Amino acid sequence: MQKLSFYDQKNEIFRLQTNAWYKGDKNEVKGEKVYYDKKTEKFSVSGRSVVSDPPTIIEADSLDYNKSIQYGKADGHVIWRDTAARTSIMADHVLYKGEQSFMKATNDKGRPLFTTEVDGDTLFKGRYFKIFQNYKRKTHPAGQECCQKIIQNGKEHGHR
């Protein structure tokens, strides 16, 4: 049973624990412990966590996200899914910087896994960085130039 450990009604800040769950108008957060600031849409979740902010769903052992600055970090058995694009990333750690259209996925050992669904089949790619970069560039709104830095095989690369 969920337990409310703190609620600041004036600032709309919640601290929930023991199988915590919060559902807003546009998002849903589940985890062992949840801190949620409704005004800024900032949250921190510990324990196996699921955050649904359609079309994105993220699962991890711990999650931190601040929607106002579009910065997020997920650690531990991360599964990031974009249900609209039918893509997934599985990694130990994912760092997201939305304003820069930047995402970095890393594993403690081995490589992150990128999957995409094409014509009902799932394609798996261990070296996903270049594929993901090209995918983002192709789906970026027309007329808007995109420049990102990515890490591939331990080296930083700039792509336009």
Q: How many residues does the chain have?
A: 160
pLDDT band at 2 (very low <50, low <70, confident <90, very high): low
pLDDT above 60 for 145: no
pLDDT band at 62 (very low <50, low <70, confident <90, very high): very high
Q: What is the pLDDT of residue 126?
A: 60
The answer to whether 2 and 16 have CB atoms below 8 angstroms apart is yes
Pairing mode, if any, of strands 42-53 and 28-37? antiparallel
Q: What is the pLDDT of residue 14?
A: 82
List the domain boundaries for the chain: 3-159
Question: Strand pairing partners for 57?
Answer: 52, 81
Q: What is the pLDDT of residue 155?
A: 43
Closest CA to 118 of 138, 88, 142, 91: 88
Answer yes or no: CATH 2.60.450.10 is held by domain 3-159: yes
Tens of pLDDT along 76-133? 999 999 999 889 999 999 999 888 878 899 999 888 888 888 888 877 776 544 444 4
Tell me which of 65 and 158 has the higher pLDDT.
Answer: 65
